[in-house]
Chain A
Amino acid sequence: MPRPIAQEDDQGLVAALCRGDADAFALLVDRHSPAMVRVAMAYVPSRAAAEEVVQETWISVMRGIDRFEGRSSLKTWIFRILTNVAMRVGGRERRSMPFSALAEAERTTEPSVDPDRFLPADHQLFPGHWAIMPARWPTPEEGLLAGETREVIAAAIAELPEAQRTVIALRDVEGWSSDEVCEALEISAGNQRILLHRARSRVRNAIESYYGAVEEIDYDAVTAELMRDTARKEADTE
């Protein structure tokens, strides 16, 4: 599905808004509201509260557009207002951490792939090698979002911790660039990558589980198989 192309025509839009052009405002509302709801939900406990935040933000935007100086992009400006409103509303409902604090609170050392999937580090022949490889996914032509896999993925994303969910939604669902996400959420590129990686890993694990249970690992059998493969490859190259 094609993603909307980022519009560079901030100046034109701002001028239209200042002139009272309702179509321009509608365009802006349609373009940004989904991501705004998404971000607001990282700060407030319910969807209803998130929509309240988005509404309040748009009111602030229409009131303050005359004062927009173009020092940042229009989108960044809108999202800064949003995060401020969200933290204030979240504060009323006792959840007003800046995003970086939220991300920090969710830090985990859980590995992205179950360590049992690999041969042990002290394995004599193939230390750290995949014991059970990721199996090729039987993805239909329509892609990952067809049918039941769509539900699996949506559920996996819904279960992610807040900060991870927000980042994967903005990057992979809404199509924002890394810079845009870092600017809107005020986190470093490195932190953003960590959150993105963890989020994508969990989604990958969910899809893999859906496609087929991973069996009990018989390390001896795996080792024997790897040895046969290696011997075969060596025989081929002689």
Chain B
Amino acid sequence: MTDYLEGALPVAEARRLERHLETCPGCTEYLEQMRTIAGSLGGLSEDTISVEMRDRLIDAFRGFRKG
């Protein structure tokens, strides 16, 4: 399924999957759920560095690369 979403399935297989989806609500729902996950996680990023570290780095840059 992920190969399909990534555009990595060979054309014949992609078509076969699409034909299957036409008659299989289970797989259709599954694919839709995977697609939703792929598109929804953007707001989760919590890995920012601390303000202190950020300021230290920028000060270091200023000090290091003084004209």
- A:130-185 near B, CB below 8 Å: 130, 133-137, 139, 143-145, 150, 153-154, 157, 168-169, 171-175, 178
Q: B34 interface residue, CB < 8 Å from A?
A: yes
Q: Is the CB of A25 within 8 A of B58?
A: yes
Complex-state Cα separation, A220 to B26, whole angstroms: 18
Chain B count of residues within 8 A CB distance of the other chain: 40
- Chain B positions 14-67 with a Cβ under 8 Å from a chain A Cβ: 24-27, 29-30, 33-34, 36-50, 53-54, 56-58, 60-62, 64-67
Q: Which residues of B contact A20 (CB under 8 A)?
A: 61-62, 65-67
Choice from B34, B42, B66 contacting A3 with Cβ under 8 Å: B42
Given A134-B30, A197-B1, check contact A204 B37 (CB 8 Å): yes
Pick the residue among A26, A34, A175, A196 that contacts B48 (CB under 8 A).
A34
CB-defined contacts of A219 to chain B, threshold 8 Å:
none
User: Are B29 and A136 in contact, with the CB atoms below 8 A?
Assistant: yes
In the assembled complex, the Cα of A57 lies from the Cα of B38 at a distance in Å of 29
Q: Is the CB of A193 within 8 A of B57?
A: no
Contact with B along A1-24 (1 / 0, CB 8 A): 101000000000000011110100
The chain A residue with its CB closest to the CB of B36 is: A144
8 Å CB interface, A44-81 against B: 51, 54-55, 58-59, 62-63
Residues 71-110 (chain A) with a chain B CB within 8 angstroms = none
Q: A residues touching B (Cβ–Cβ < 8 Å)?
A: 1, 3, 17-20, 22, 25-26, 29-30, 33-35, 37-38, 51, 54-55, 58-59, 62-63, 113, 129-130, 133-137, 139, 143-145, 150, 153-154, 157, 168-169, 171-175, 178, 189, 193, 196-197, 200-201, 203-204, 207-208
21 sample A-B contacts, Cβ–Cβ < 8 Å, listed by A number: A22-B62, A29-B57, A33-B49, A34-B49, A37-B49, A51-B53, A54-B49, A62-B64, A134-B26, A134-B33, A136-B29, A143-B40, A144-B36, A145-B41, A153-B41, A173-B45, A193-B2, A197-B3, A200-B37, A200-B38, A204-B33
Q: A17-B65, A34-B45, A189-B8 are in contact. List 20 more A-B contacts (CB 8 A).
A: A25-B61, A29-B57, A29-B58, A62-B61, A62-B64, A134-B30, A134-B33, A137-B33, A144-B36, A144-B37, A150-B44, A157-B41, A169-B47, A171-B38, A172-B38, A172-B40, A173-B42, A200-B37, A201-B34, A207-B37
